Amino acid sequence: MTRDERELEWWRHQRHEFHQPSPDLAAHVARYWVVEWRYDRPYRQLVVPYPNVQLTFHAGAALVTGVSSGHVTKELDGEGRVFGVAFHPGAFRPFLRAPVQSITDRSVPAGALFDGLPDHADLDRVEDLLRRNLPGPDPRARQAVELVARIVEDPSMTRVDALAQETGTSVRGLQRLFAEHVGVGPKWVIRRYRLREVTERMEAGGRIDWAALAADLGYADQPHFVRDFTAMFGETPTRYAERYPEPVRS
């Protein structure tokens, strides 16, 4: 399959900005992001998900988008801009007032959840919006946020039963907590962050021993690793590695 050359030089067509939340919102918001693009013909943008619920403002519309359980493709054409709020995984349940799993793989109008949406989205207006709608403390949400952070921080965390044992709960208890507050299961979250380490190695360049890497990530064999990577990223590891300046060869 011929690769769109714009995938390898996306920075010529897109501009990305990231901003940190104010201290009073940092328990809920992971970051703000802005993407602007300009394409003279349609471009299919591959989006690989993380377990963040997103609040986005684009072309006069505001949406809350739940976690995508797999990769998605968005078509970009002409000029456009999106302002986004990425909430900490596990932190959106108090805003939603319903299980976060109820919006997995779908979007809902932001007006159904937030009062006083701004006509134009910028950092100050969006932070004012969040402050006006800020929910009270939720210990279970805080627990979910901390568990996801534990997964992110520990590369050796590759199994749900290990997380359950470490936290003194059951696998079933973790599954219920993640469905309620994160929107996807703990196994999905573990797999996503371990696979992120694969792309970090790709970005670093050099040769990758795929079989050894699969073992490091807790996979029984390389085919299982390739299957999970392809399901999450939409391409095999070697195909995806072509996106980086120095393609990785096995």
The SS3 call for residue 176 is helix
pTM, to two decimals:
0.93
Residue 113 lies in a domain: yes
> Same domain, yes or no, for 10 and 129?
yes
Range of the domain at 156: 140-241
Going through the chain in order, the beta strands assigned E by DSSP cover 14-19, 29-47, 54-58, 61-65, 72-87, 107-109
| CATH at 155 | 1.10.10.60
Q: Are 94 and 176 in contact (CB under 8 A)?
A: no
Contact 15, 116 (CB under 8 A): no
CA distances (Å), 247 to each of 10, 211, 217, 234, in order? 16, 18, 21, 17
What is the chain's alpha carbon radius of gyration, rounded to the nearest angstrom? 19
Residue 46 tokens, joined: 């591959």
pLDDT in tens, 219-238: 999 999 999 999 999 999 99
247 falls within a domain = no
Q: Do 146 and 204 reside in the same domain of the chain?
A: yes
Residue 247 has pLDDT above 90, yes or no: no
| Domain shared by 146 and 91, yes or no | no
Are 126 and 188 in a shared domain? no
Tens digits of residue pLDDT in 33-74: 999 999 999 999 999 999 999 999 999 999 999 999 999 999
Residue 250 lies in a domain: no
Q: Are residues 168 and 131 in the same domain?
A: no
Domains: count for the chain: 2
pLDDT for 169-207, tens place per residue?
999 999 999 999 999 999 999 999 999 999 998 988 888
Query: How many degrees, rounded to 5, is the angle at CA 114 between CA 110 and CA 117?
Result: 80
Q: What's residue 127's pLDDT?
A: 98
Q: Under a CB-based contact definition with an 8 Å cutoff, are residues 154 and 47 in contact? A: no
245 band by pLDDT with thresholds 50, 70 and 90 = low
Residue 69 lies in a domain: yes
- Domain assignment present for residue 186? The answer is yes
CA 142 to chain centre: 18
Q: What is the pLDDT of residue 248?
A: 44
Q: Are residues 29 and 103 in the same domain?
A: yes
26 and 112, same structural domain?
Answer: yes
Q: What is the DSSP letter of 121?
A: -
Would 246 be classed as within a structural domain? Answer: no
Looking at residue 4, what is its pLDDT?
86
